[in-house]
């Protein structure tokens, strides 16, 4: 959605306007702006230490920003010199460590946000039962959290986060304590649940697959900034910078130069037509844009092959040593190989912008 950077959008579930945050003299967030429409799920994706949790804590009210403003459901909750405490923001939260009260039953844990809001007992019990049913834990209300598995405890935390239908739910790496299979299935369940209940959520993760599974939009963060904020399909098809392409592990990035509407990678002689300004550049050759093809314009040597269950990931060495990866339906015979490139899916980063590679790609020696 279009995010004006000066005025909070009254229609947005969350609007972050030009936030900065310092710990002492260290700036850990700079100029972060982000808007979430109601019912939208946005993931914050970035490497460890890039500022994801700090941003979430600012939204929750556990920290006050150094600069900028935050509005939740049209209400300004943080601005220079004033910050609403967490309990007054009425958000749902799900953390990595579940954070359940061990001495309270599952039902009492889930009922807590309703008790805080003074919801009468009969309605509380009905809504708690409903929320537990929604997360697949119908009949677990009387149990103690300690008697549940990790995945089940996280489902209790999820029920607690959504039982009061908050304007926004915050997730901070909720699946990172679970093993891979459970992670995948719980990510799918969370995605479905958020959609069906039309809940708005900000979901922090450093796992690309998890971000893509859960979110309508993904904000890729690095060094306290948002590098790109787009739908998963757009991020993959049109990464805005080499950093985003690298972080998303989209494929090979070859350093080179643009001269006269041509990108050239010196060591391999690879040359790609592109309408980019002259100067130093990087070309992204995504795995999904390459395929083995005896008539293809790119020549290389097979450097390794790895069977992945559904296909084979082939590593191809170009003259000069640069490596490309390409998926093949079966193992290829060792030795020389030629590759075809779907030009529309390849990108040249030059002059601070991303430029699509044009066709036809000339054959190299």
Ligand X SMILES: Nc1ncnc2c1ncn2[C@@H]1O[C@H](COP(=O)(O)OP(=O)(O)OP(=O)(O)O)[C@@H](O)[C@H]1O
Q: Name the token pair of 80.
A: 């220079």
Q: How far is the CB of 28 from ligand X (least distance, A)?
A: 4
Give the nearest distance from C-beta 183 to Mg ion in angstroms. Answer: 17
Which one of residues 2, 6, 25, 48 is an interface residue with ligand X (CB under 6 A)?
A: 48
Residue 95's alpha-carbon distances to 33, 275, 284, 350, in angstroms, are: 23, 46, 36, 40
Binders of Mg ion in range 253-292 (CB under 5 A): none
Show the tokens assigned to 78: 């943080």
Q: Which of the choices ligand X, Mg ion, none does residue 46 contact, using the CB cut-off of 5 to 8 A by kind?
A: ligand X
51 binds, among ligand X, Mg ion, none (CB under 5 to 8 A by kind): ligand X
Positions 44 through 83 that interact with Mg ion (CB under 5 A): 53
* Closest to Mg ion by CB, 163 or 187: 187
Give the whole-angstrom CA distance, residue 348 versus residue 346.
Answer: 7
Which of residues 160 and 206 has its CB atom nearest to ligand X in the complex?
Answer: 206
* Residue choice 41, 50, 161, 186 for contact with ligand X (CB under 6 A): 50
* Contacts to ligand X from residues 284-343, by CB under 6 A: none
- C-alpha to C-alpha distance for 45 and 340, rounded to whole angstroms: 32
Positions in 64-103 near ligand X (CB under 6 A): none
> Residues 6 or more apart from 49 whose CB is under 8 A from it?
none
For ligand X, give the closer residue by CB, 140 or 203: 203
* Interface with ligand X (CB under 6 A), residue from 8, 53, 91, 163: 53
Nearer to Mg ion, 44 or 72 (CB): 44
Please, what is the minimum distance in Å from the beta carbon of residue 52 to ligand X?
Answer: 4
Contact track, ligand X, 180-219, x by CB under 6 A: --------------------------x-------------
Write down the least CB distance from residue 171 to ligand X, Å: 12
User: How far, CA to CA in Å, does 112 sit from each of 90, 123, 148, 172, 198?
Assistant: 12, 13, 19, 20, 22
The listed partner (Mg ion, ligand X, none) that binds 54, CB under 5 to 8 Å by sort, is: ligand X
48 binds, among ligand X, Mg ion, none (CB under 5 to 8 A by kind): ligand X
Q: Which is nearer to ligand X, 28 or 272 (CB)?
A: 28
> In terms of DSSP bridges, do strands 217-222 and 201-205 run parallel, antiparallel, or are they unpaired?
unpaired
How many chain residues are in contact with ligand X, going by CB under 6 A?
Answer: 11
Write out the binding residues for ligand X, residues 18-37 only, by CB under 6 A: 23, 28
Q: Which is nearer to ligand X, 228 or 325 (CB)?
A: 228
Q: Which is nearer to ligand X, 176 or 359 (CB)?
A: 176
Chain centre to alpha carbon of residue 20: 21
- For tokens 């002059």, name the residue: 351
Residue ranges binding ligand X (CB under 6 A)? 23, 28, 46, 48-54, 206
Binding site for Mg ion (CB under 5 A): 53
């Amino acid at each position: 959605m279009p995010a004006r950077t000066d005025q909070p959008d009254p229609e947005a579930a969350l609007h972050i306007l030009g936030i900065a945050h310092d710990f002492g003299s260290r700036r850990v967030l700079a100029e972060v702006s982000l808007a979430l429409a109601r019912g939208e799920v946005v993931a914050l994706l970035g490497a460890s230490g890039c500022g994801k949790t700090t941003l979430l804590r600012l939204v929750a009210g556990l920290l006050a920003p150094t600069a900028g403003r935050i509005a939740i459901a049209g209400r300004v909750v943080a601005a220079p010199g004033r910050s609403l405490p967490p309990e007054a923001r009425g958000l749902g939260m799900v953390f990595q460590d579940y954070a359940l009260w061990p001495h309270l039953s599952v039902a009492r844990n889930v009922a807590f946000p309703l008790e805080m809001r003074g919801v009468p007992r009969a309605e509380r019990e009905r809504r708690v039962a409903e929320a537990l049913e929604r997360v697949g834990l119908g009949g677990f209300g009387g149990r103690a959290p300690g008697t549940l598995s990790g995945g089940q405890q996280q489902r209790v935390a999820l029920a607690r986060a959504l039982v009061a239908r908050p304007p926004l739910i915050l997730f901070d790496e909720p699946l990172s304590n679970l093993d891979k299979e459970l992670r995948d299935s719980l990510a799918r369940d969370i995605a479905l649940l958020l959609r069906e209940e039309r809940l708005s959520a900000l979901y922090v993760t450093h796992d690309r697959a998890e971000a893509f599974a859960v979110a309508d939009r993904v904000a890729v963060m690095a060094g306290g900034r948002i590098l790109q904020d787009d739908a998963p399909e757009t991020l993959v098809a049109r990464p805005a910078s080499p950093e985003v392409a690298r972080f998303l592990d989209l494929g090979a990035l070859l350093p080179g130069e643009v001269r006269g509407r041509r990108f050239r990678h010196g060591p391999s002689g690879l040359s790609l037509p592109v309408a980019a300004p002259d100067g130093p550049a990087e070309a992204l050759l995504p795995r999904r844009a390459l395929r083995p093809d005896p008539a293809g314009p790119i020549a290389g040597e097979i450097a390794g092959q790895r069977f992945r269950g559904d296909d084979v990931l082939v590593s191809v060495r170009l003259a000069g040593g640069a490596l490309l990866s390409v998926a093949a339906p079966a193992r290829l015979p060792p030795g020389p190989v030629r590759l075809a490139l779907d030009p529309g899916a390849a990108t040249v980063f030059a002059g601070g912008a991303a430029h699509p590679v044009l066709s036809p790609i000339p054959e190299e020696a």
